[in-house]
Structure 1
Amino acid sequence: MKDKKKKKEICKWDRDEIESSIDFLLEQARNANYACKKCGRVAETKALLCKPLSENKA
């Protein structure tokens, strides 16, 4: 189930997806290298965000 979630950008997850994957989201936040320019979510890999911005470009 986690692999299926990784294919969809977390910016587009609904409330149920967020609640069922909270451990994954917390891990992504701890290891974040990217932030979404549109909604502010953070992730370790840019494929999980709809408008990723690298911490190196900030």
Structure 2
Amino acid sequence: MKTLCKLKKDELADDFKQIVKIVKKPKFICEKCARVAKEKKYLCNPVSL
């Protein structure tokens, strides 16, 4: 899977269940686009919350 930062809108719908698991109880935020995730591997420029 791509990082959340690089996903397009149509890709979000395809992987919705997996994305919900990734963003539930986030621990990191992307400095570039402000998306959040529980693991930094899912973001392109992660910073701890």
Give yes or no for TM over 0.5: yes
Bigger relative contact order (CA 8 A; separation at least 6):
2
Aligned positions, number: 49
Match of 1:19 among 8, 13, 16: 13
Q: Does 1:38 align with 2:32?
A: yes
Query: Which ranges of structure 2 fall in alignment gaps of 5 or more residues?
Result: none
The ranges of structure 1 where at least 4 consecutive aligned residues each deviate by more than 4 angstroms after the TM superposition are none
Q: Distance in 1 between matches of 2:23 and 2:3?
A: 14
Q: Report the identity percentage.
A: 33
Please, what TM-score do these two structures have when normalized by structure 1?
0.72
Please, what TM-score do these two structures have when normalized by structure 2?
0.82
Q: Which has the higher helix share?
A: 1
| Residue of structure 2 in register with 1:29 after alignment | 23
Query: Which ranges of structure 1 fall in alignment gaps of 5 or more residues?
Result: none
Higher Rg of the two aligned structures: 1
